[in-house]
Amino acid sequence: MEADLRNFLNPSAFKIIIEQQLGWILKDFKTLNGLAVVRPDFYPNNHVLGISKKAVIVCKGKSLFSIGNKEYNSIDDAFDKLGVSILDTFEEWEWQMEKEWVIMKDGEWVGSFTILTECPFRTKIRC
């Protein structure tokens, strides 16, 4: 498992990107093997990643992926059954359905993204 800017990132860099470049306030995020976990599939639904005065970035959706011939709908479930060492084969997992980071303002959908490069600037979406 390496920092790939899509799924895993250096925690300090993650904080700089979210807060200083994109304008959000970074809340709670997971780390694995010393790397910040960026991919929403690693988080439970409704987990708050970031906030602003007017909006919130939360995890929403469902995961469905295959490791070998077995399907999983939760990374935690895959960890429980196969161990955290399955991260060594992360690039080989086959994804059928992915969660998203959803931006909500006043309870309404504003936008969504799955990878950090798609996260909008807070000011651009008036949040």
53 and 107 part of one domain: yes
Q: Beta partners for 71?
A: 66
48 and 104 part of one domain: yes
- The answer, yes or no, to whether residue 93 has pLDDT greater than 80, is yes
66 and 83 part of one domain: yes
Pairing of strands 94-97, 64-67: antiparallel
What integer is the mean pLDDT of 87-114?
Answer: 94
- The answer, yes or no, to whether residue 110 has pLDDT greater than 90, is yes
78 and 92 part of one domain: yes
Report the side by side order of strands in the sheet with 35-37: 8-9, 35-37, 31-32
68 and 119 part of one domain: no
Dihedral Cα 6, 7, 11, 17, nearest 10 deg? 30
8 Å CB contact between 49 and 63:
no
pLDDT at 3: 84
The runs of H, that is alpha helices, within 1-127 are 11-15, 75-82
* Percent of the chain at pLDDT exceeding 70: 100
List the domain range (segments joined by +) for residue 86: 62-98
